[in-house]
Amino acid sequence: MLFLGSFLGGCAHRALIESDPPGASIRVGHKTVGVTPAEIKVKWVPFKSIPVTVHMPGRRQVELDLSSDLGLMRLGWQALTFQTGVLTGKVPRSTHRALFVRPHGFVGTWNADDVK
């Protein structure tokens, strides 16, 4: 019953956000919450997206949705496999890595220098 109550009411979710190169700003909604690499804590509510934007000046920004990190099947698997650190929030539930490239033309027009 407690599991169902926490599922319906929402729970805290910790995620590690990294970037290559490091030093990008992390925004959850309209609030800046840190600079990569960083652990962030967000509230997860069923059927609601958790938009995260990772941005570095001079590079294209990366949009993430952390709501895919959680769900009934994933939470059930973590409970069955006794992943207590993840379930209690002592360790991050997921790691997301943003790879930044400089702005460039359409797909197919890139060269090796664009990716550096």
Q: Is 26 within 8 Å of 51 (Cβ atoms)?
A: no
Q: Is 64 within 8 Å of 41 (Cβ atoms)?
A: no
- DSSP class of residue 81? T
57-91 confidence digits (pLDDT tens): 988 888 988 877 776 667 677 677 777 766 666 77
Q: Is 40 within 8 Å of 52 (Cβ atoms)?
A: yes
> Per-residue pLDDT for 35 more than 90?
yes
Q: Is 44 within 8 Å of 65 (Cβ atoms)?
A: no
Helix axes 2-9, 72-80, angle to 10 degrees: 140
Q: How far apart are CA 40 and CA 69, in angstroms?
A: 13
1-17 confidence digits (pLDDT tens): 444 444 444 567 788 99
pTM for the full predicted model: 0.68
Q: How far apart are CA 48 and CA 14, in angstroms?
A: 16
